[in-house]
Amino acid sequence: METRVVFHIDFDYFYAQCEETRSPELKSKPVCVCVFSDRGGNSGAIATANYTARKYGVKSGIPISFAKKRLEERKDAVFLPVDFDFYSEISEKAMEIMKESADIFEYVGRDEAYLDVTKRVDGNFEKGFHLAQQIKNSIRDKIKLSCSIGISPNKLISKIASDFQKPDGLTLVSPDKAEVFLEQLKIRAIPGIGKKTEARFLEMNLETIQDLKNLDIFTLNKEFGRKTGTYIYNAVRGIDNEPVKEREASIQYSKISTLKKDSKDYQFLSENIRELCKEVHDVVKKNNRMFKSIGIHFVQSDLSSKSKSRMLKSPTSSIEELQKTADILLKEALENQTTTIRRLGVKVSELSEIQGQSDITSYF
């Protein structure tokens, strides 16, 4: 089997960095990009913070009020509302630059992608390193953004490597260095291992990837189930055969809003869902699309999330179908619901273009 050369490209503090390109004077200040809720004031959460803000303990997901408290001494701290349209525009330009250098390009999200460049660099990691440097330079020259790139024989190690020297990192892990590179790292470096799993390993006195290699597959499977156990067993050994798959930005349309009050009352939530469906449907109509998947999303009062979705038998663009399905999902989601709901969202995905009037539901 040929050795692959795989890049994982990840933009550093992407939303905040986009804001810095628009207003360069922000670069020296702590910048927090916020999802403000409709309730005004400091209600909402941090989407991304630049590295200056991170030094004060500000990170994505924390409430804006916490972030403001942590940055009290910095009178120059800036709190900006998210501007997803602007970030998507910049992301598209960056992805175009990456695509030009890839044999296979896999879009992951607005701020990350995988590239298989094996043919482009004749399977040579040194050439791969130079190509990665060229991509970084090109992105910096054309759109003023820095990114971090990990280079290795597979997606797993490349993802770990791109995080290794952030921000503005470039880390090459050739096949002969993979074992040494991984063994020094903390267990949390493995993608998909969260706080709970890490805590369990710490109880077992295991802290690094090297420590984790001492666990046999049976112990891992018993502890975490076969699927996760096998994944961890392979990951600590740097084994990952998943190919880089051609994937463009998979677009979905969604709307989410903060409710006037926290609630778990079906009637109240149902009225809000109907309104959100109308807003999503307007976007669907404007873009001449049909959808096959419908989903709803809750952000609960304790800031945890819950979502449900359903695949339809065939694509449609009917608002009645959208509202009816969203309402069914709402009823299902509210069974055994104990926590009140703070934000509510509706999304449609699995989009396709309306071809003529092939489908009865495409008459609006």
Q: Which tens digits make up the pLDDT trace of 124-168?
A: 999 999 999 999 999 999 999 999 999 999 999 999 999 999 999
Total number of domains constituting the chain: 1
Radius of gyration of the chain (CA): 23
10 is annotated as contributing to ligand binding = yes
- pLDDT computed for residue 107 by the predictor: 87
Q: Residue 212 in contact with residue 236, Cβ under 8 Å?
A: yes
Distance (Å, whole) CA 294 – CA 105? 27
Longest dimension (CA), the chain: 63
Residue 114 lies in a domain: no
Q: Which residues pair with 54 in a beta bridge?
A: none
Residue 311 lies in a domain: yes
Residue 45 lies in a domain: no
> Mean per-residue pLDDT for 196-218?
92
| pTM of the complete model | 0.70
Residue 340 lies in a domain: yes
Distance (Å, whole) CA 324 – CA 330? 10
Residue 163 lies in a domain: no
Residue 132 neighbours by CB distance under 10 Å: 24
Residue 9 lies in a domain: no
In terms of Cα–Cα distance, which of 41, 40, 49 is closest to 67?
49
- pLDDT computed for residue 354 by the predictor: 67
Residue 65 neighbours by CB distance under 10 Å: 13
In this structure, the strands spanning 147-152 and 31-36 are unpaired
pLDDT of 18 higher than 70:
yes
CATH code at position 270: 3.30.1490.100
Q: Which of 15-24, 34-43, 94-103 has the lowest mean pLDDT?
A: 34-43
- pLDDT computed for residue 359 by the predictor: 36
Exposure string for 162-187, b = 16+ CB within 10 A, e = fewer? bbeeeeebbbbbbeeebeebbeebeb
- pLDDT computed for residue 306 by the predictor: 85
Would you place residue 314 in the very low, low, confident or very high pLDDT band (cuts 50, 70, 90)? confident
Residue 112 lies in a domain: no
List the domain range (segments joined by +) for residue 277: 253-362
- pLDDT computed for residue 361 by the predictor: 33
> Mean per-residue pLDDT for 64-78?
95
- pLDDT computed for residue 44 by the predictor: 86
List active site positions: 112
- pLDDT computed for residue 358 by the predictor: 34
- pLDDT computed for residue 356 by the predictor: 43
Would you place residue 221 in the very low, low, confident or very high pLDDT band (cuts 50, 70, 90)? very high
pLDDT of 68 higher than 80:
yes
Residue range 246-263, pLDDT digits in tens = 876 656 788 988 899 999
Q: Which element (helix H / strand E) includes 300?
A: strand 289-300
Q: Which element (helix H / strand E) includes 108?
A: strand 104-109
- pLDDT computed for residue 312 by the predictor: 84
pLDDT of 362 higher than 80:
no
Residue 155 lies in a domain: no
What is the overall mean pLDDT for the chain? 90
- pLDDT computed for residue 40 by the predictor: 65
Q: Which element (helix H / strand E) includes 253?
A: strand 253-263
Would you place residue 313 in the very low, low, confident or very high pLDDT band (cuts 50, 70, 90)? confident
Q: Residue 241 in contact with residue 3, Cβ under 8 Å?
A: no
111 is annotated as contributing to ligand binding = yes
Q: How far is CA 244 from CA 5, 23, 95, 328, in A?
A: 10, 35, 15, 37
In terms of Cα–Cα distance, which of 246, 250, 252 is closest to 99?
246
